[in-house]
A and B are shown apart, each in its own frame.
Chain A
Amino acid sequence: MKKRHRNLLLIAVVVVALGAIAALVLNAFRSNLVFFFTPTQVVKGEAPRERTFRVGGLVEKGSLSREADGVTAHFRVTDTAQTIPVTYKGLLPDLFKEGKGVVAEGRLSGNGEFVADQVLAKHDENYMPPEAASALEQAQKAQKTLVSPEGKQ
Chain B
Amino acid sequence: MIPELGNFALIVALLMALTQSILPLAGAARNIPSWMSVARPAARAQSLFVAIAFACLAYSFLSNDFSVINVTQHSYSRLPAVYRFTATWGSHEGSLLLWTLILGLWTFAVTLFSRHLPDDMVARVIGVMGLVSCGLLLFMLLTSNPFLRMPMAPDGSDLNPLLQDPGMVIHPPILYMGYVGFSVAFAFALAALISGKLDASWARWSRPWTTAAWSFLTLGIMMGSWWAYYELGWGGWWFWDPTENASLMPWLVGTALIHSLAVTEKRGSFKAWTVLLAIAAFSLSLLGTFLVRSGVLSSVHSFASDPARGLFILAFLAVVIGGSLLLFAFRANQVGLGGRFALVSRESFLMANNILLLTACGSVLLGTLYPLFIDALGLGKISVGPPYFNSVFVPLVLPLLFLVGVGPLARWKQASVPDLVSRLKWGFAASVVVALLLPFTMGAWKPMVAVGYLSALWIVVGVAINVQSRLRSGAGWSANFYGMNLAHLGVAVTVIGITMVSAYESERNVRMIVGDTITLQGYTFRFNGVKHIDGPNYTAERGALEVTRNGNPVTILYPEKRTYLASGMPFSDSAINYGFTRDLYTALGEPLDGGAWSVRLFHKPFVVWIWIGAVLMALGGVLAISDRRYRAALRKQGRAVA
Residues of A that sit less than 8 Å from B by CB: 6, 9-10, 13-14, 17-18, 21, 24-25, 28-29, 32-36, 54, 66, 69-71, 89-92, 94-95, 105, 122-125, 127, 130-131, 133-134
Which residues of B (232-259) have their CB < 8 Å from a CB of A? 233
A89/B385 in contact, CB under 8 A: no
B383/A34 in contact, CB under 8 A: yes
Q: Can you list 28 A-B contacts with CB-CB less than 8 angstroms, sorted by A residue number?
A: A6-B342, A13-B343, A24-B395, A24-B396, A25-B362, A29-B363, A29-B388, A32-B384, A32-B387, A33-B382, A33-B383, A36-B383, A54-B383, A69-B510, A70-B510, A71-B510, A71-B511, A71-B598, A91-B600, A92-B590, A122-B298, A124-B160, A125-B569, A127-B298, A130-B298, A130-B381, A133-B299, A134-B381
| Complex partner residue of A130 from B301, B363, B387, CB under 8 angstroms | B301
A96 to B569, CA, bound (A): 11
A32/B385 in contact, CB under 8 A: yes
A28 to B363, CA, bound (A): 10
A10 to B343, CA, bound (A): 6
A89 to B402, CA, bound (A): 40
| Complex partner residue of A36 from B233, B381, B589, CB under 8 angstroms | B381
| Complex partner residue of B570 from A10, A32, A95, A134, CB under 8 angstroms | A95
How many contacts between A and B, using CB within 8 angstroms?
A: 103
Residues of B that sit less than 8 Å from A by CB: 160, 162, 233, 298-301, 342-343, 348, 352, 355, 359, 362-363, 366-367, 370, 375, 380-385, 387-388, 391-392, 395-396, 509-511, 567-572, 587, 589-590, 592, 596, 598, 600
Of the listed residues A34, A71, A94, A131, the one surrounded by the most CB atoms of chain B closer than 10 A to its CB is A94
A32/B511 in contact, CB under 8 A: no
* Dominant SS among interface residues on chain A: mixed
Collect the chain B residues with CB atoms within 8 Å of residue A24's CB. 392, 395-396
- 5 A-B pairs closest in CB distance: A70-B511, A32-B388, A36-B381, A91-B589, A130-B299
Minimum CB–CB distance for A57 against chain B, Å: 13
Collect the chain A residues with CB atoms within 8 Å of residue B383's CB. 33-34, 36, 54, 105
Minimum CB–CB distance for B482 against chain A, Å: 32
Please name the residue on chain A nearest to B299 by beta carbon: A130
Please name the residue on chain B nearest to A13 by beta carbon: B343
Collect the chain A residues with CB atoms within 8 Å of residue B392's CB. 24-25, 28-29
Collect the chain B residues with CB atoms within 8 Å of residue A123's CB. 160, 162
Please name the residue on chain A nearest to B392 by beta carbon: A28
A71/B509 in contact, CB under 8 A: yes
Minimum CB–CB distance for B574 against chain A, Å: 11
| Complex partner residue of B343 from A9, A17, A94, A134, CB under 8 angstroms | A9
